[in-house]
Structure 1
Amino acid sequence: MVKVTFTSHNKEIYCNKGEKLLDVARDAEIFIDAPCNGNVSCGKCKVRLIKGKVDTEKTHHIKDEEWNQGYILACNTKVIEDIDIEVPSKLSASMHGMKIEGSDKKKDKEVFDRAKKIIEENNFEFKTNIVKTYIEIDEPTLDDNISDIDRIERYVRNHLGYDEIDFTIELLRKVPTVIREDNFKVTITYIKKKNKITILNIESGNTENKLYGVAIDIGTTSVVICLVDLYTKEIVDKASSGNAQIKYGADVIHRIVYSTKKNGLKELNEAVVEETINPLLDSIYTRNSVDKDNVVSLVVAGNTTMTSLFLGVYTDFLRQEPFIPPFLKSPRLIGKDVRLNINDSAYVFIAPSVASYVGGDITAGVLSAGIWSSEENVLFIDLGTNGEIVFGNRDYMMSCACSAGPAFEGGGISCGMRASNGAIEKVKIDKETLKPTLTTIGDVSPIGICGSGIIDLICQMLLTGIIDRRGKIHRDIDNERIIFNEYETGEYVLAFKEEYNLDQDITINEVDIDNFIKAKGAIYSGASVLIESLGMDFSVIDKVYIAGGIGNNLDIENSILIGLLPDIEREKFIYIGNSSLVGSYLALISKDAKKKLQEIGSEITYVELSVYPTYMDEFISACFLPHTNIEQFPTIKSKLGE
């Protein structure tokens, strides 16, 4: 055994000689960002060797200066003796304090109110079939000695008009003591189903005014929950954090691969349930003095992989042709089945998926966007870790998934990071000096750049002539911010380390730009092919709804200029926030909306882009700034002087 001391965390752990440093950190519950899940392709898991020797190799991700300072990749390093390791604060903190879309209260309210209005306009009722009723049952005597549960059933039959009751063993275990705490005066929470009720909870005394539900969006990168008062239908509180599964890979493919390893599926399930959602629930309960047993309804939305891992279901066939998901519709679930800190008998509903790569987050998003009731042609784009697109109206809905990867969340970009404090979210470059003006989340010193900032940056680099339309840096520029590394890869320096007291410069290089161009090209070409499959083009679009992590700070003009979005009238673009969470909320407060959500799952037609004849040609054409065919961007053509 050898000892690894993580000096940055004041933690020691013993491991076997030859173990990978990344695995050792995971065992020590130390978060190290590893979007590629340890296959040495992203270079994000840089740590610093302070003391001792390791078995490692220098890769192109590590500059000579960094190598001389002791930087190594945790995924490419084996421990061979006692060592001291320093994990940069950027790596260990990037999962926490994330800026969640829609966190602005005013915009938040606008997004939720807009979705509720759509529901109202379609004559959906804001009612659930969950009821809470205070009852006073007869105390037992020698002459009236029926069982405790029969006593409750008799009251329900005689006073509430239901023929029978159903209940779980968990509830039955509570009954004998709870009914006697206040002389057989209790409050029951139950689901109405015609002439039958299912009791979810029983409490001593009168607690009729306390009834809650929870809506959850399980994203690949982040998880957001909202606690809802089921009486008033108002959101009591919200909470969010990074998805702890991030440590096993930034995208669904890496996580699916990890799930096939020994204990991999169990670890992924525990990461989202025990390390992410339950702590969020506990924090929100504490802030609002809520008893978990009063949380009796739950709606969860996530992509097909996330919901499968949430339920601990094997996922490997999702990524293998012909890409078959383990399930699309929600199985019958209660709180105990999912191990969340809610009532054990709570009703749990999973938003239905459409296909392997179009999941419940999209069906919930379509519900909240109102495409299913719109007479106009709507293009819905979810810009998250995965790129999903829906096009249609009340008569039809088509969908596809784009292989955009995690670039919009900062993945695949050397200086990229998720939207947390210190992330550059806006960039302006002076055309004469090439000096950037940076806006960061939290107004603190920059430590990296997030998705919205990358879009701004590439746009500015194109407009100021730093890069050409291929994304290549011009070799003839004489400026201290333009450098070429030992691999002759061009870089632009966003922030010199001396400016902000950083360990190293914040730069973006040609490989980063190429990765982002491919990501934006996947979105644009996916939308183009989806609409083309119906014999139409972008001119038929009446509205474009933008959802997902970077939408709130997305500059529409810049996004069109780089070819991420189509060049149509700007007023057609509307940001609709975290549409997955909003859709889950609607299904939580309205049984009509929940029914519609189930219908949406079966009404959307899925187009598999990988086998669509023209997709690859469209994708290659879109891997240019803004596009190889500049005529598709008439308002941008003049800006670029063409």
Structure 2
Amino acid sequence: FKSKRRTKMTETRQAEIVSVSGASSDQLTSHVEGETAKIVFTPSGRRGVFPVGTKVLDAARHLGVDIDSVCGGRGICGRCQVVQSVGDFPKFGLKSAEDNISEFNAKEERYKEKRGMDDDRRLSCSTTIQGDLVIDVPESSQVHKQVVRKRAEVRDIELNPVVRLYYVEVEEPDMHKPTGDFERIAEALKDQWEVEVTNADLKVLQLLQKALRDGEWKITAAVRHDGELTFVWPGFHDKAFGLAVDVGSTTMSAHLTNLQTGEVVSSVGAMNPQIRFGEDLMSRVSYVMMNPGGEEDMTRAVRETLNFLASQAVTEAGLKLSDILDIVLVGNPIMHHLLLGVNPVELGWAPFALATNSAVKVWANELELNVNPGARAYILPCVAGHVGADAAAVTLAEGPQFRDEITLVVDVGTNAEIVLGNKDRLLACSSPTGPALEGAQISSGQRAAAGAIERVRIDPETLEPRFKVIGCDLWSDDEGFAAATSKTGVTGICGSGIIEVLAEMYLAGIITHDGIIDGTLKSKTDRVVENGRTFDYVLHHDIKVIQADVRAIQLAKAALYAGAQLLVDKLGKPVERVVLAGAFGSHIDPKYAMVLGLIPDCKLDMVASVGNAAGTGARIALLNKDARREVETLVQNIEKIETAVEEKFQAHFVEAMAFPHKTAPYENLKQVVNLPEPKIASSDNGDGDEGSGGRRSRRRRRG
């Protein structure tokens, strides 16, 4: 087999090849004996002259044209499909006639019958040059194809994975050639694919002999970019997948992704089981401090959930765990450490030292992940302190470092991670928002599930609410709402719902500038009800917004705003664009986020909710090995600001407690929203501990 292939390669190399895009027609002159033909590949524009009878795939490879192939030109995988462009092409100085390409052959017929193929498609590995040709390489057949993002402002993902598959035919053992099976596999990869393999994992050595013999000396090899053979399958195998995972402190999500096409074949999620050790990050650190060995329990819990997610993802996609060849993970520093089995107590006090802020590359089974035994796990670098790998992933995905506008990127979660800047300078900090923004620690709060209130509108005159719940397109005052929600019911308020109801309560005057539910309105509506020394607002039956809920959101939003404003102070330039990231951030209405003062003022059309950008960043690093180097360099250039030691943070925090802010004018917001004049709740509110208005009244009486 090898001698035949070498002869064919030698014959092809006899052609004079011009591989410079845009070469003139006189450069396409052949100086070899025998009949030759010109070939031009689009869209790359690469061109050359080859002997008639040369396979189109061979010509493409020698010209450096980007055509995918796993089977090595044997007509099995079908990834090398091309389309002949027929007609006169003065631009290229040739005519591409229909009969200038070989006729459909048995391999193509067999592939089309078994796997399906469009009528105008040809397998370039089975098609030969018979005359001058213009050949188009569809995007689906390109190795470095781009996965187009939905939003135009974010760059596409160029496919260049760490692991690739290669189908090879290996020379059988020979008494006269005393070489090992691995060495002959390496020789076959070099000869048939020009891929250098320098070593093999131990697990591969343990199974490769059986795979070779079961496959009758034909195998598919998984090879990493550094020349390591990580796995082999007998015969032809074309399933190469990776897992991009965002290990959030509240929820964990995993995206099973085809490494050869970039397609996400399944996305799964689960609550982080560490919640039982503490809802926020510092409470989990405290648990470790108070319970020696507690970090082992949390590490075990998160790894078990990762295995559950991996198993669920492959089951949904009809695949096997052994098809997962690479894993990329992101998370905040405490999740990062607990995932790796590193005690996080040093992150519980200043100077918040990380065990490492560099990227971590380990075997997947070192993290006890039950995937392909040759799989590796790559954990993105942390920025510093409490700004983790998830913030690095968000920055990689959203690309503020490429923009002119001063962009504020906020990954909204239990611990908000904030990046501010543009192509000239980037700064980052974290802010302890707590779980309130996600519906936790809210009296009627719940996770985003069917039946949860997610949208709210309040009539400013009658103070009557109407709302929408997850799983139903009708508003609560629409006919048929009760019937449509009869199965799920109205069960509580999720994160986006609590943002909207508080913003609407403020716009309707139910909540004062300082965040007090105005008890004087109980004479106007039965929606405002007394609750001890404070007041509640009844949204639906027993689903209420109580004064403690308002205060929890105030504390969370003030922390987030203060962190962002601290970065603005350091940068010395105002925010021009805001990106709300995170699973929760994707559901926030930018207008209501600004009404509450969750984010600094800017033009509303410059505020975007982008979903789980950390997961997207993980997927970029999964699909493109160069992105890993990019994010490692990027992290080194981000300036870290530690909010815990900044004197201005507390001042910003106190002023940000008001809605939307005590002193910031919010001029852009006022152009689209009629903000109420500041009002202070009267002493009728009582002297409740939760209401600052009540405390002021008490002091006045004492005077």
TM bucket normalised to smaller: 0.7 to 0.9
d(CA) in 2 for partners of 1:559, 1:125: 34
1:205-248 deviation per Cα after TM superposition (whole angstroms, max 9, x unaligned): 111x2211111111111111111111112222211222222222
The 3 A distance-change label for structure 1 pair 365 and 302 is same
Counterpart of 1:42?
A: none
The 3 A distance-change label for structure 1 pair 198 and 601 is same
Q: Contact 1:566–1:633 (CA<8 Å) still a contact in 2? A: no
Distance apart, 1:115 and its partner CA:
6.9
Match of 2:559 among 519, 522, 527: 522
Counterpart of 1:236?
A: 265
The 3 A distance-change label for structure 1 pair 634 and 181 is closer
* Aligned amino acid, residue 567 of structure 1: D
1:147-188 deviation per Cα after TM superposition (whole angstroms, max 9, x unaligned): 433443444455555665222222222223222212222111
Distance apart, 1:483 and its partner CA:
2.5
Distance apart, 1:547 and its partner CA:
0.7
Counterpart of 2:366?
A: 337
* Aligned amino acid, residue 485 of structure 1: N
1:106-156 deviation per Cα after TM superposition (whole angstroms, max 9, x unaligned): xxxx99615797445xxx853234221112223334444544334434444
* Aligned amino acid, residue 203 of structure 1: W
The 3 A distance-change label for structure 1 pair 568 and 184 is same
RMSD of aligned residue pairs (Cα, Å) = 2.3
> Does residue 264 of the first structure (1) align with residue 294 of the second (2)?
yes
* Aligned amino acid, residue 639 of structure 1: L
Counterpart of 2:185?
A: 152
Q: Contact 2:413–2:582 (CA<8 Å) still a contact in 1? A: yes
d(CA) in 1 for partners of 2:255, 2:669: 41
SS at match of 1:239: strand
Counterpart of 2:454?
A: 425
Match of 1:507 among 544, 548, 553: 544
- Specify the structure having the higher radius of gyration (Cα): 2
Identity, % of aligned pairs? 31
1:609-632 deviation per Cα after TM superposition (whole angstroms, max 9, x unaligned): 121121111110111111111534
Counterpart of 1:44?
A: none
Match of 2:621 among 587, 605, 610: 587
d(CA) in 1 for partners of 2:175, 2:632: 51
Q: Contact 2:417–2:431 (CA<8 Å) still a contact in 1? A: yes
Q: Contact 2:407–2:577 (CA<8 Å) still a contact in 1? A: yes
> Does residue 412 of the first structure (1) align with residue 441 of the second (2)?
yes
SS at match of 1:421: coil
Alignment of 1:606-617 (within 5 A): 606-617=640-651
1:510-562 deviation per Cα after TM superposition (whole angstroms, max 9, x unaligned): 122111111111111211111111223x3xx3321111122232122222222
d(CA) in 1 for partners of 2:666, 2:192: 69
Counterpart of 2:428?
A: 399
Counterpart of 1:183?
A: 216
> Does residue 448 of the first structure (1) align with residue 512 of the second (2)?
no
SS at match of 1:405: coil
d(CA) in 1 for partners of 2:457, 2:312: 38
The 3 A distance-change label for structure 1 pair 403 and 111 is farther
Distance apart, 1:578 and its partner CA:
0.9
The 3 A distance-change label for structure 1 pair 119 and 495 is closer
> Does residue 278 of the first structure (1) align with residue 323 of the second (2)?
no
* Aligned amino acid, residue 234 of structure 1: E
Q: Contact 1:111–1:577 (CA<8 Å) still a contact in 2? A: no
d(CA) in 1 for partners of 2:519, 2:309: 50
Q: Contact 2:603–2:668 (CA<8 Å) still a contact in 1? A: no
Counterpart of 2:406?
A: 377
Counterpart of 1:388?
A: 417
Counterpart of 1:640?
A: 676
d(CA) in 2 for partners of 1:247, 1:409: 16
Q: Contact 1:212–1:228 (CA<8 Å) still a contact in 2? A: yes
Task: Return 5+ residue gaps in structure 2 as ranges.
Answer: 1-145, 473-487, 679-703
Match of 1:198 among 224, 228, 240: 228
The 3 A distance-change label for structure 1 pair 436 and 378 is same
Counterpart of 1:72?
A: none
> Does residue 215 of the first structure (1) align with residue 260 of the second (2)?
no
> Does residue 465 of the first structure (1) align with residue 509 of the second (2)?
yes
Counterpart of 2:536?
A: 491
* Aligned amino acid, residue 161 of structure 2: T
Please identify, of 577-586 and 258-267, the stretch whose mean Cα deviation from structure 2 is larger. Answer: 258-267
> Does residue 548 of the first structure (1) align with residue 582 of the second (2)?
yes
Counterpart of 1:475?
A: 519
Counterpart of 2:91?
A: none
Aligned residues, how many? 513
Task: Return 5+ residue gaps in structure 1 as ranges.
Answer: 1-109, 497-504
Higher relative contact order (CA 8 A, sep 6+): 1
Distance apart, 1:198 and its partner CA:
0.4
Counterpart of 2:201?
A: 168
Counterpart of 1:34?
A: none
The 3 A distance-change label for structure 1 pair 111 and 200 is closer
Please identify, of 431-440 and 215-224, the stretch whose mean Cα deviation from structure 2 is larger. Answer: 431-440
* Aligned amino acid, residue 498 of structure 2: I
Q: Contact 2:359–2:632 (CA<8 Å) still a contact in 1? A: no
Distance apart, 1:254 and its partner CA:
1.6
Please identify, of 336-345 and 136-145, the stretch whose mean Cα deviation from structure 2 is larger. Answer: 136-145
Q: TM-score, length-normalised on structure 2?
A: 0.69
SS at match of 2:561: helix
Counterpart of 1:347?
A: 376
Counterpart of 1:139?
A: 172
* Aligned amino acid, residue 396 of structure 2: L
Match of 2:351 among 313, 319, 322: 322
Distance apart, 1:393 and its partner CA:
1.1
* Aligned amino acid, residue 230 of structure 2: L
SS at match of 1:511: helix
Q: Contact 1:305–1:356 (CA<8 Å) still a contact in 2? A: no
